[in-house]
Structure 1
């Protein structure tokens, strides 16, 4: 499960990459939605901040950081059961992060200048550690999604597809492609888009090029229990359909 909200400069925020991942949208589309929001310049200035991440070509690529209010404005138009589920999760996470920030707030206005300086330095150090912790957590979630593979499940499905290809005189690669197309049709999903989003998340988290290149559609499918269930059914149907 991805971390939806994180703390930056003492404020609970999320970013456009995380929103794209959560709502199953292309990152460029989320960026476009933000740019086209019919909000005032003052609202945009206070609730959306453009930042950068490194893309697959090693070039800095824009993304947006956004506050809770900015997020709320952005996702008003996102509909559907899954969209509602993630809206609720985001609301819960923003609330949790606000409470976390409030419990650590300290009034330093009555302290001596030296103590204020020491506290400020400590807070800056804590902010750095919090950002690192948030990054580590996001990396851990992504690594868990990719590294904890169900090899038995993959071997079983590959075996069924290989058997079906032999019986039908076809090619395994073509049958695999057909299985993905059937999954996308039934689950109303775009595997390529989900894979690109996952690659972006991995790059932002500092994953190696080897790890990114090894990530494939099966990783996307296995990370979503619903897709995994539907895909298993699809492969079984293809296998049974070639039996004589």
Structure 2
């Protein structure tokens, strides 16, 4: 449950992916639940959700929803069971910690214009460096996929799957989930 609450556009949010993973639901079902809320009462729910995309394991964009605390609350209000209760408590704790962190940050409006400019430059440089590292990782992963040799493809494919599993936590469950996701995608592409 790391990175349960993230910063997006200077707001504390979580994602539909986090909700799906934590509640052990298919992401498409979480998306359907969000879109049902938006369809039923868009004017009230639209400010709570923001549509976006994040790369899947292959680096392709996939639809996700970012949601604030209110959006999360409405979405998971109907979820029940011990896992739902545990997640809700951890989610509230993470939101409270993030809000405290935001409150403790220095108010930039009291700084001179020169220092405000310098602080913004440093923040932008940090964001660019992070984005560059993410792109480098994606490029490395894509290069690994593209460079699969046709004679050693099984060995190379297994090594690549093991790297994905390692990033996903390295647990036997992550290994099982990764292989299952790969086979589902292969079946989907094959029209099975």
With normalisation by structure 1, the TM-score equals 0.50
Query: Deviations along 1:120-166, whole A, 9 cap, x unmatched?
Result: 2234445667889xx8xxxxxxxxxxxxxxxxxxxxxxxxxxxxxxx
Structure 1 pair 59–130 and aligned structure 2 pair: CA distance change class (3 A): closer
**Structure 1 unmatched ranges of 5 or more:** 136-207, 224-244
**Structure 2 unmatched ranges of 5 or more:** 135-159, 177-192
From 155, 165, 172, the equivalent of 1:219 is 172
Counterpart in the other structure of 1:106 = 107
Q: How many residues align?
A: 147
Counterpart in the other structure of 2:79 = 78
Counterpart in the other structure of 2:5 = 5
Alignment of 1:205-216 (within 5 A): 208-212=160-164
> Displacement of 1:105 after TM fit?
3.7
1:16–1:65 contact (8 Å) kept in structure 2: yes
> Displacement of 1:113 after TM fit?
3.0
Counterpart in the other structure of 1:28 = 28
Counterpart in the other structure of 1:122 = 122
1:50–1:65 contact (8 Å) kept in structure 2: yes
Structure 1 pair 113–221 and aligned structure 2 pair: CA distance change class (3 A): closer
Are 2:42 and 1:41 equivalent residues in the alignment? yes
User: 2 CA distance for matches of 1:129 and 1:92?
Assistant: 29
Counterpart in the other structure of 2:151 = none
Structure with more relative contact order (C-alpha pairs < 8 Å, separation 6 or more): 1
Counterpart in the other structure of 2:98 = 97
